[in-house]
Amino acid sequence: MEQVMWNKEGKIILRQDASYVVEYNGLPYHVPNEGTFAELYADVAAHAQEHPEQVEQEAAPAPPTEEEQLALARSSARLRIDKETSAAILAGFSYTVDPGTGTPEPLHFSYDSFDQQNFADTANMALLALSMPASLDAGTTLPASVTWNAYRSYTPEAGGELVRLTFDAAGFLALYTGGALAHKALQMERGGRRKAAVEAAATVEEVEAALAGSTTATASEARP
């Protein structure tokens, strides 16, 4: 950077981060110890060492009040709850269905952003199939059933055994409403309750207690 002719007779402020503020053209000029300021910083630091009477230490910032601490804790908690709620939704859900063995069992269904769109699109198709007059059935290209992936004995770490399921329109809508949408609604309701507890908290400790609540639904809660 071009040489800055700062006022070497004026006051030099040493900030908490070890940078300086000097006077340049009658105005305060911040000089950090980085990048293009490095040469100027060295000049100011050397002058400050030679003339300590011109150096004024910046006052330490006042500690936050209890009200400010509480506001900060609430803000951080809201962000954390949003993040955890989103992660819980994307983690997928359990839904009890007969995989073709004659015995219903709980299976895991993926519900990441890609699968959420697939669920919505397929549900719309199922609604069309159910609402279309029988007289038009012969001329439509809507499939009579849809095949969907689920997982048996699923864990986030190891995954699970792939199970291919076949649903007719009504069966898929039951999966969509009783599984996918119920799962999402449950997680959002949990997040909303936690946020309400955070807003009602009168101390930072109460905010932390509100965050300690569970963020994911149990399999039984997500089943129809």
Query: Residue-wise pLDDT tens for the chain (224 aa)?
Result: 567 799 999 999 999 999 999 999 999 999 999 999 999 999 999 999 999 999 999 998 889 999 999 999 999 999 999 999 999 999 999 999 999 999 999 999 999 999 999 999 999 999 998 887 554 555 556 788 999 999 999 999 999 999 999 999 999 999 999 999 999 999 999 999 999 999 999 999 999 998 886 444 443 344 44
Q: Indicate if 167 and 218 belong to the same structural domain.
A: yes
Is residue 23 located within the same domain as residue 81? no
Domain membership of residue 1 (yes or no) is no
- Residue 183 has a pLDDT of 98
The separation between CA 24 and the C-alpha centre of its own chain, rounded to angstroms, equals: 44
Tell me: do 215 and 131 sit in the same domain: yes
Looking at residue 132, what is its pLDDT? 76
Judgement on whether residues 113 and 83 belong to the same structural domain of the protein: yes
Q: What is the pLDDT of residue 133?
A: 58
Same domain, 24 and 80: no
Q: Do residues 41 and 93 both lie within one domain?
A: no
pLDDT score of 140: 58
Q: Which tokens in the block code for residue 134?
A: 């029988």
The answer to whether 106 touches 95, Cβ cutoff 8 Å, is: yes
Question: pTM score > 0.85 for this model?
Answer: no
Cβ atoms < 10 Å from Cβ of 213: 13
Tell whether 154 and 218 lie within a shared domain: yes
Q: Is residue 182 domain-shared with residue 94, that is, in the same domain?
A: yes
d(CA 169, CA 140): 14
Please count the structural domains in the chain: 2
In a domain, 4, yes or no: no
User: Looking at the domain assignment, is residue 184 inside a domain?
Assistant: yes
Asked if residue 28 is part of any domain, the answer here is yes
The answer to whether position 7 is within a domain reads no
pLDDT of residue 178: 97
In this structure, is residue 6 part of a structural domain?
no
Together in a domain, 53 and 117: no
Residues 111, 44, single domain; the answer is: no
pLDDT in the model for residue 139: 57
Same-domain pairing of 53 and 70: no
What is the DSSP-derived secondary structure letter of residue 42? H
- The token duo for 160 is 């699970």
Q: Which domain holds residue 22?
A: 12-57
Q: Is residue 25 part of a domain?
A: yes
Do the domain assignments include residue 144?
A: yes
Based on the fold, state whether residues 163 and 197 are members of the same structural domain. yes
